[in-house]
Amino acid sequence: MTTSALRNRTAAVATSIALLLPLAACRVVADVTAAPDPTTATTQPAPRKLPAPQKAPVTTKTPVKKKKKKQPHPVPNRPATDLYGTQYAYVKAYKGNRVTFDLVEFFEWEKAQRACKQDREPRDGIWCLEYYIRNKNPRLRWLGADPGGHYEIIVAEQGWKTVSMDRFLRSVRGTRKLVKFDIDGGRILNAEQMWQT
């Protein structure tokens, strides 16, 4: 390549560069003007406003009147006492198989004599000698009687006779006929008339 050709080429390149420099400067200026001012710009975006929470619609309820629960009638076979084993009583009343009675303490022979001395009871025939009944508590109790239980009453000139629960209760109710109960599980399983006092 000749010297003149080299000069021409160099001049062409220089001319191209000279023409391109102002265009490049314009682009840089455009980028510089588009950039935010570092003294006023913040690096974090502005917080977004969340929509205000909506309140649930208020509903008014009419108060419901609670019905008073009726107390259930006592179930005759439900344990209604702390009694168990052999107990002595006077039957005061009954309804169905629910028996209301007056519980007493029954003593025989030596125990009867000791109990009489403690209570300062006067001897009267076989009273305090053969038997003694202590009844200091006026409280009445009730228990359910087992309809299928064993019940005995005293029948004149026949001795003890096995009868139904209903007949037994009719016979001893409201009298001074002492009754011996066999109690278990809070109910009367069997009953026997002792004698009339």
Q: Write the DSSP assignment of 117-166 as a string of letters.
A: HHHTPPPBTTBTTTEEEE-----EEEEEEEEEEEEEEEETTTEEEEE-HH
Cα–Cα distance measured from residue 190 to residue 173, given in angstroms and rounded to the nearest whole number: 16
pLDDT at 170: 93
pLDDT at 75: 45
pLDDT at 19: 59
pLDDT at 11: 62
Element (H, E) at 37: none
pLDDT at 4: 62
Please say whether the beta carbons of 136 and 124 come within 8 A: no
pLDDT at 24: 56
Q: Residue 138 class from Cβ within 10 Å (0-12 exposed, 13-18 middle, 19+ buried)? A: exposed
Cα–Cα distance measured from residue 197 to residue 194, given in angstroms and rounded to the nearest whole number: 9
Six-digit token string for 173: 């109710």
**Intervals of the chain under pLDDT 50:** 28-32, 72-79
Six-digit token string for 5: 């050709």
Amino acid at 75: V
Sign for the pseudo-dihedral over CA of 171, 175, 179, 185: positive
pLDDT digits (tens, 9 = 90+) for 106-124: 999 999 999 999 988 888 7
- Render the burial of 22-47: b for 16+ CB within 10 Å, e for the rest: eeeeeeeeeeeeeeeeeeeeeeeeee
Q: Measuring CA to CA, which residue among 75, 87, 76 is closest to residue 190? A: 87
pLDDT digits (tens, 9 = 90+) for 10-24: 666 566 665 555 555
Six-digit token string for 109: 């022979």
